[in-house]
A and B are shown apart, each in its own frame.
Chain A
Amino acid sequence: MPNMTPKKAAMPTQPPEERRHNFREVALGYSAETAMEEATRCLNCRHKPCVSGCPVHIEIPRFIEQVKDGDFGKAYEIISRTSSLPAVCGRVCPQENQCEARCVRGKNGEPVGIGRLERFVADWHNAQEEVKPEKPVSNGHKVAVIGSGPSGLTCAGDLAKMGYEVTVFEALHLAGGVLVYGIPEFRLPKSIVQKEVETIQALGVKIETNMVIGRVLSIDELMDEQGFEAVFIGSGAGLPRFMNIKGENLCGVYSANEFLTRTNLMKAYREESATPIMHAKRVAVVGGGNVAMDAARSALRLGASEVTVVYRRSEEELPARAEEVSHAKQEGVVFRMLSNPVEILGDENEFVTGMKIQQMELGEPDASGRRRPVPVEGSEYVIDVDAVIMAIGTSPNPLLKFTTKGLETKSWGGIVADESGQTSREGVFAGGDAVTGAATVILAMGEGKTAAAAIDEYIKNKSK
């Protein structure tokens, strides 16, 4: 008899008052008992609507059934057949728009906590005795992967399992992409990312950090001189956008990437860190996505007394994960909706003192189907802040486009690739944010997987 409680088993969390002052993980994870209990809420639907909501089609009811029976090892095996980063995705997937959005239990109450169960299984697995995967036998073919974010790591891992000799080239000094430089410790502990990276290394994948492809070596050199038969580009969408409003270059205005990189990658939140960060008191964060939530909550943890998220549409349209928005609110982040910054104000030393905001109202729907915010005449007002963080989006870095012969990109910078990841250049594949623009971890991972299969096929056909 299924468990018909309308609500998900609660996720234990650090109390908001405590966590807003530290960088430790907010959500603490299910215990085995809670996981098994939550698993009994799954109806094991025959048509499995949840599975079609998951971009990589994890066999959700099958793994949940194993959790219910307490066979967590088996559950892990089922998940890892299609997902290579379950400990990450279980934490950061926007489940409410994906698997859980389709769960039948959601029609009458809350959906099954699929993400939470996935996280539990992955964490359980990671806590078990280390069984290093065996290094597969090499098939003698070399593939290069550019970028060590979720798309690159997944592509590299899959190819290594097929016997390819894979080298990942990463521009920064640490592998992980956004998982290490963007998403903060309190949402995704870096030890988890490290573990994923080590697992992939154990498969024989070489990771070369400090390698900016397009500068140190070009894709042409990798293929023509270094003997790589195929290249996967998973270079992400790291170029920050600014609003181009007055005052944006004042001291105290950061891109979210700079603010988060200083905090996460360079560990500026730790006392002993060599990297500086401004510990502002009143911070405005412009934008409404996950990036904005991460920046706002990081600013709080760095000691801000007042953090305001300024977003030009209405609350329903906030693109951030629901859980992040509610966590941010619990921690005291203030939300100003339908508000558009028009100018950043500074003092005589050009230091940020405030932000002028224009009130918006909802007009006709725009191309995205959302009602377009239009300015309300004469509604400008000023809020006092001493730092502003711009989290209004990023686009792919043009470096690879400029340095690779015959690599086509779209007008906004995204690399042109078909559904298998094949680009306009033979032997060169691409996926993740570099192709789609800023998206999600699970989509990037899925594209890395698809491209790995396509690369395998490409090399096999070529050597026939």
Chain B
Amino acid sequence: MYRILKKKVLNPTVTLMEVEAPLIAAKAQPGQFIILRADKDGERIPLTISGCDKERGSVRIIFQLVGATTKQLGMLNEGDMIPDFVGPLGNPTPIDGLKKVCVVGGGVGCAIALPVAEKLHENGCEVHTIAGFRNKDLVILEDEFKACSDKYILMTDDGSAGEKGVVTMPLEKLIGSGENYDMVIAIGPLIMMKFVVKTTKPHGVPTTVSMNPIMIDGTGMCGGCRLTVGGKTRFACVDGPDFDGFEVDFDEAMKRGAMYRDFERHAYEKSCHLLNKEVE
């Protein structure tokens, strides 16, 4: 059992929790994730480790309330127990040796991007962050990003905070103006990452993307998380979750997603509750 030490509602759909898990806190590196069950008969869902406090032995998760499990988790309070919490899973985001990086986060993807930006900053890397949200109410982690970024650009779809538009607009501008990034790291909805790659590829700026297909075990046992990367089948939980954005078959990953959404729309829930909605 894993105790919830802290809970903070960041916005109406996004919640932060710090969970007591000393072994994970001691090991976790940016880019890795945990799998939890919110109750003892629950589903296993993956959430990225958004930070950890080695002294307190706690792991921070930030999650969007999108469905049954995340809602159930959101109902737990400080002092409550999470029955299962396993990690750190997956590979750390490869950031060694990078000198100048643009981190692009979309929506709750920013929660995943934050520890990567922080670690880069700590390593002495120049960090530019572009964070995109649908509107002002959904903006999260602004202060945290500002603290670790040499440049922070906030974008909203409707212009209610920061600049109006999508994250690829400032990205194109920055690259065009001669910012020589060693790497662009994009974390967010599939469609966003796809367009980030479309922006960076013509300029030949290496781009890492963080994939989040549906997972069960997270140990390489089920193959449910498979993707096509560079023409080969890879398991996101053990080979990823980060991949070379130029190699990922986003269309396949998205079609799989869109198909599930279709199921949902046609009220197929009874026969197929494999609903897929991107994390946004």
| Cα distance A351–B272 in the bound complex, in angstroms | 13
Please give me the residue from chain A that is nearest to B85 by CB atom: A210
| Cα distance A278–B276 in the bound complex, in angstroms | 13
B66 part of interface (Cβ distance < 8 Å) = no
Q: Which residues does chain B contribute within 8 Å of A254, judged by CB atoms?
A: 223-224
B222 and A261 contacting across the interface, CB-CB below 8 Å: yes
A3 part of interface (Cβ distance < 8 Å) = no
Proximity string of chain A (272-296) to chain B, C-beta cutoff 8 Å, 1 when within and 0 when not: 1111111100000000000000000
Proximity string of chain A (25-42) to chain B, C-beta cutoff 8 Å, 1 when within and 0 when not: 000000000000000000
- Determine which residue in A210, A255, A266, A349 has the highest number of CB atoms from chain B within 10 A of its CB, and name it: A210
The one of B84, B86, B220, B224 in contact with A239, judged by C-beta atoms closer than 8 angstroms, is B220
Give min CB distance, A431 to chain B, whole Å. Answer: 19
The segment from A12-20, A48-56, A116-124, A211-219 found at the interface with B is: A211-219
B134 part of interface (Cβ distance < 8 Å) = no
The segment from B97-105, B116-124, B169-177, B256-264 found at the interface with A is: B256-264
A274 and B89 contacting across the interface, CB-CB below 8 Å: no
Proximity string of chain B (247-280) to chain A, C-beta cutoff 8 Å, 1 when within and 0 when not: 0000010011011101000000001111100000
Q: What does DSSP make chain B's interface, helix, strand, loop or mixed?
A: mixed
| Cα distance A238–B224 in the bound complex, in angstroms | 13
The one of B84, B220, B259 in contact with A251, judged by C-beta atoms closer than 8 angstroms, is B259
| Cα distance A244–B260 in the bound complex, in angstroms | 23
A171 part of interface (Cβ distance < 8 Å) = yes
| Cα distance A225–B81 in the bound complex, in angstroms | 28
| Cα distance A290–B42 in the bound complex, in angstroms | 28
A216 and B275 contacting across the interface, CB-CB below 8 Å: no
B221 part of interface (Cβ distance < 8 Å) = yes
Give min CB distance, A58 to chain B, whole Å. Answer: 31
Please give me the residue from chain A that is nearest to B251 by CB atom: A350
B238 part of interface (Cβ distance < 8 Å) = yes
Given contacts A215-B89, A240-B223, A261-B217, contact A209 B84 (CB under 8 A): yes
Given contacts A258-B216, A399-B238, contact A349 B255 (CB under 8 A): yes
Q: Which residues does chain B contribute within 8 Å of A102, judged by CB atoms?
A: none
A350 and B256 contacting across the interface, CB-CB below 8 Å: yes
| Cα distance A240–B228 in the bound complex, in angstroms | 16
| Residues of chain A in range 71-86 having any CB-CB distance to chain B below 8 Å | none
A274 and B43 contacting across the interface, CB-CB below 8 Å: yes
B188 part of interface (Cβ distance < 8 Å) = no
B77 part of interface (Cβ distance < 8 Å) = no
The one of B23, B87, B223, B252 in contact with A255, judged by C-beta atoms closer than 8 angstroms, is B223
The one of B24, B216, B252, B273 in contact with A249, judged by C-beta atoms closer than 8 angstroms, is B252
The one of B44, B222, B260 in contact with A257, judged by C-beta atoms closer than 8 angstroms, is B222
| Cα distance A277–B260 in the bound complex, in angstroms | 12
Please give me the residue from chain B that is nearest to A252 by CB atom: B259
A267 part of interface (Cβ distance < 8 Å) = yes
What residues make up the interface of B, taking CB atoms closer than 8 Å to A? 23-24, 27, 37, 41-44, 68-69, 83-89, 216-217, 219-224, 226-228, 233, 238, 252, 255-256, 258-260, 262, 271-275
A-B contact pairs, 20 of them (CB 8 A): A173-B84, A181-B221, A210-B86, A212-B89, A216-B23, A216-B86, A216-B87, A249-B252, A249-B256, A254-B223, A254-B224, A255-B223, A257-B222, A272-B41, A275-B44, A303-B271, A349-B258, A349-B259, A350-B256, A397-B238
The 7 A-B pairs at the shortest CB distance, nearest first, are namely: A258-B222, A210-B86, A276-B273, A255-B223, A274-B43, A238-B221, A173-B84
Known: A242-B233, A255-B224. 6 other contacts (CB 8 A): A173-B84, A211-B86, A249-B226, A251-B259, A274-B69, A275-B44
